[in-house]
Amino acid sequence: MTQNDTFPRQYARTQRLSLGEPRSFTLSPCSQRLVFARTESGSNSVNMLWVLNTTSGEEKCVFNPLAVVENKGDITTEELRRRERARESASGVVSYSCDAAVEQAVTIINGQLFLINLLNGDSSALNIEPGIFDARLNALGTHVAYIRSGALCVANISASAHDAQEKVLASDPLAHISWGMADFIAAEEMGRQRGYWWAPDGEHLAVCRVDESLVNTWFIADPAHPEKPATEHRYPAAGTANAKVTLHIVHRETARSTAVDLPSSDEYLNSVAWSAAGLIVQVQTRDQKSVAVFSVEPTTAKAVEIFTDTNDAWVELVGGVPALTSTGRLVTTVDREGSRRLYVDGALVTPEHLQVRAVLHVGDSIVFQANHIDSPWTLDVWRYDVATNNLTCMSSEYPTPHSVSGIATDSAFLLRVSHMTAPRAEFVTSTGHSVASHTEEMLVSPNVTFHTVGKNNIPVAIVTPRDNGTHKLPVLFDPYGGPHAQRVVGSLLAYATSQWFADQGFVVVVADNRGTPGKGSAFERSVLHDLAGPVLDDQVEVAQALAQLEPRADVTRVAIRGWSFGGYLAALAVLRRPDIFHCAVAGAPVTDWRLYDTHYTERYLGNPAVNAGPYESTSLMNDAHLLKRPLLLIHGLADDNVVAAHTLQLSSALLAAGKDHEVLPLSGVTHMTPQEVVAENLLLHQLSFIQRSLPAAL
């Protein structure tokens, strides 16, 4: 920590207290090596690559980017976009790939490829021209594939890294066609950050061909620097054309490519998994009410459907599935009898009260993350033994509420454990050794209570100052409120910013309304065709119950702040319920869902080209004339996810309606707001706005 540190400064300097935390773990098949990335301290943003000996507990740095003197390249545009999609703001080793034995690894530093020996720590720059992206070793570690300017390339490194020769496996002369890359929708909304996969034998690759020729071209400009050209961005807004993504089997030596014969009616390629048990692919219809899994025969590229699932609302995508067990049994998830359940070869293997959130490993056993529906703020890791049909919780020993995730093999695991009695996450291996975290200890001490409200049992966390006072305090709602993001969790760190606001003299309320994850199928699907009504109604219900939950809450002075979907919710709250919410800070808000992307928006509101009704009823533009309360709009002008047009168009509508409001444009800032000065002063500016905008105490 620095002298005279404040929490906003610390929070910005440490990238939301994430620097110094170990991440990106890989376990070797022998379970003796655990590979991970970590910075040297909580204020250092350069990740180094480390190996933990799981037997002795000894940690060893095997690659330090700062010690690389021959690096002369630049970060590629593709890598910068990948980092934005992955919300990655650190530097150094932000991604790496290992061979099957986890004895070698490759990583890219500023566009240059490095080969690392994980056993002795030797590393060298490969004799490959800089300017590449997404390098991955084959299983034997003899070849490395990567992307250069939209082309998939491969190099043989088995003889000597210094003699590696690049060969183009798949390319296209047209600028709008790429090979081996994830399209925008896959990376932003499906959790698929890659576009090619090695076969286990290292002889073939499954490769995506992405044709964006029909996708609308948007232009992201920097008004603060008019001398710079605008950046072209292919953005598939709701109701418009998506990229056309096809899958091909490419032979490593001959570069022969064969298209996989998947149904043309399935618009989205969700996932590809290639293991010793086989190659499987999941596709999804545009309306997202149906998914299908195909088994692909690599030599012929013939695809055979082996599973399909449908839902009247939408079929939810879950990370880690579909996948095949060691014996070839299909593992996926389905929503049945009110919850999301693990489904193995046609059999439900988890009970109704568990909501499966992610699958972490599939082999002889299946390791997954899940929560009890009645207590979604406690996330556990479970193991299901395929042979014995035995289900066990691997994290029940930790204090509740807690939030546990991790990685696993059939014989070993690493758990990341957060709970409400420790400021840092713990990283514990199956051998009992811990991985050190270098994160700074936060300069706040969260004081949190958990509640459920109303007939829908809305999860609520209330954060109050640690002053032991009894006087009334203004209220600040601090939600996200949108699908896929849970804010009421069993992790002390999750309430750091909320506690800082509480310490400035607020009762802070975090509520997970209908549509957020963890509470079962019906709770999630309550927002079908309406991302406004149920979301706002639940926040209002919590506000109306607040006097009984927290006696210090002054419900005559209620503010609300949020970012992204939370920004939409904050603006929605003051527009539609000024009787409850007295001022709002809306950061990077979606203001018209027609300006947001296809896969996310159409899942909930349908296709506006078919029915525009849900878009009209949820648009903030149509509510601009209703504004009666102070509203601050904040937006990064370089945001390519929720583009600045959202805020600028709402501001124009408010001005046309004669409604006073404030706009804070952030030059050069994306959706992440990673810049230290920006992040620090954003918190201070929001606090100042809220303090001067709330009515005086009665």
Using DSSP's 3-state secondary structure scheme, residue 519 falls into coil
Residue 160 scores a pLDDT above 80? no
Structure letter (DSSP) for residue 66: G
278-284 β-sheet, strand order: 268-275, 278-284, 290-297, 302-310
Other beta carbons within 10 Å of 239: 18
Residue 300 scores a pLDDT above 60? yes
Residue 456 scores a pLDDT above 70? yes
Summarize pLDDT for 210-231 with one digit per residue, the tens: 999 999 999 999 888 899 999 9
What pLDDT was estimated at residue 531?
A: 98
Is the model more confident about 369 or about 82? 369
What pLDDT was estimated at residue 318?
A: 98
d(CA 513, CA 486): 9
Structure token pair of residue 471: 């006087």
Structure letter (DSSP) for residue 491: -
Instruction: With beta carbons less than 8 A apart as the criterion, state whether 47 and 66 touch.
Output: no
Residue 550: pLDDT band with limits 50, 70, 90: very high
Residue 121: pLDDT band with limits 50, 70, 90: very high
Residue 267 scores a pLDDT above 90? yes
Using DSSP's 3-state secondary structure scheme, residue 651 falls into helix
Q: Which residues contact 669 (CB under 8 A, 6 or more apart)?
A: 636, 637, 638, 639, 675, 678
Closest by alpha carbon to 580, among 541, 635, 620? 541
Q: What are phi and psi of 117, to 5 degrees?
A: -90, 115
Burial of 257 (0-12, 13-18, 19+ CB in 10 A): middle
Whether the CA torsion 602, 606, 607, 609 is positive or negative: it is negative
What pLDDT was estimated at residue 334?
A: 98
d(CA 632, CA 683): 13
Residue 442 scores a pLDDT above 90? yes
- Give the H/E segment covering residue 592: none
What pLDDT was estimated at residue 259?
A: 97
d(CA 14, CA 636): 20
Structure token pair of residue 618: 């949820």
- HSE-CB for 426 with a 13 A CA cutoff: 15
Q: Over pLDDT 70: what percentage of the chain?
A: 98
- HSE-CB for 563 with a 13 A CA cutoff: 15
Over residues 106-131, mean pLDDT? 93
Residue 84: pLDDT band with limits 50, 70, 90: confident
Residue 677: pLDDT band with limits 50, 70, 90: confident
Q: Over pLDDT 90: what percentage of the chain?
A: 89
Fold exhibited by the domain 448-693: Rossmann fold (3.40.50)
Residue 674: pLDDT band with limits 50, 70, 90: low
Other beta carbons within 10 Å of 151: 17
Structure token pair of residue 530: 């309406």
Residue 91: pLDDT band with limits 50, 70, 90: confident
Residue 3: pLDDT band with limits 50, 70, 90: low
Instruction: With beta carbons less than 8 A apart as the criterion, state whether 10 and 443 touch.
Output: yes
- Give the H/E segment covering residue 96: none
Distances (CA, A) of 129 to 617, 624, 670: 53, 53, 29
Lowest mean pLDDT across 45-54, 65-74, 128-137, 673-682: 65-74
d(CA 534, CA 157): 56
Distances (CA, A) of 324 to 309, 481, 631: 17, 34, 51
- HSE-CB for 474 with a 13 A CA cutoff: 23
Distances (CA, A) of 547 to 130, 465, 511, 552: 61, 17, 15, 8
d(CA 541, CA 623): 21
Is the model more confident about 698 or about 316? 316
Structure token pair of residue 516: 């957020």
Fold exhibited by the domain 18-168: Neuraminidase (2.120.10)
| Cα 256 versus chain centre, distance | 35
Over residues 344-356, mean pLDDT? 97
Q: Which residues contact 568 (CB under 8 A, 6 or more apart)?
A: 482, 531, 562, 586, 589, 590, 591, 620
What pLDDT was estimated at residue 265?
A: 86
d(CA 218, CA 150): 19
Structure token pair of residue 546: 């607040």
What pLDDT was estimated at residue 87?
A: 74
Return the beta strands (E) in 363-478 as ranges.
Answer: 365-372, 379-385, 390-393, 402-408, 413-419, 426-429, 448-453, 458-463, 473-477
Residue with tokens 């996200």: 480
Q: Can you give the residue ranges of every domain in the chain?
A: 18-168, 172-317, 352-439, 448-693
What pLDDT was estimated at residue 161?
A: 55
Summarize pLDDT for 561-619 with one digit per residue, the tens: 999 999 999 999 999 999 999 999 999 999 999 999 999 999 999 999 999 999 999 99
Other beta carbons within 10 Å of 472: 16
Is the model more confident about 698 or about 621? 621
Other beta carbons within 10 Å of 517: 18
The β-bridge partners of 268 are 284
Residue 6 scores a pLDDT above 90? yes
What pLDDT was estimated at residue 196?
A: 98
d(CA 252, CA 138): 10
Structure token pair of residue 271: 């996932």
What pLDDT was estimated at residue 5?
A: 87
Residue 85: pLDDT band with limits 50, 70, 90: confident
If phi > 0 it is left, if psi is from -120 to 50 it is alpha, else beta; for residue 300 that is alpha
Is the model more confident about 50 or about 110? 50
Summarize pLDDT for 371-403 with one digit per residue, the tens: 999 999 999 999 999 999 999 999 999 999 999
Residue 301 scores a pLDDT above 70? yes
- HSE-CB for 472 with a 13 A CA cutoff: 12
**How would you label 52-79 residue by residue, b for 16+ Cβ within 10 Å and e otherwise?**
bebeeeebeebbbbeebeeeebebbebb
Residue 58 scores a pLDDT above 60? yes
d(CA 532, CA 590): 12
d(CA 646, CA 587): 11
Instruction: With beta carbons less than 8 A apart as the criterion, state whether 80 and 134 touch.
Output: no
pLDDT, averaged across the chain? 94
Lowest mean pLDDT across 80-89, 99-108, 270-279, 635-644: 80-89
What pLDDT was estimated at residue 264?
A: 86
Structure token pair of residue 522: 């019906």
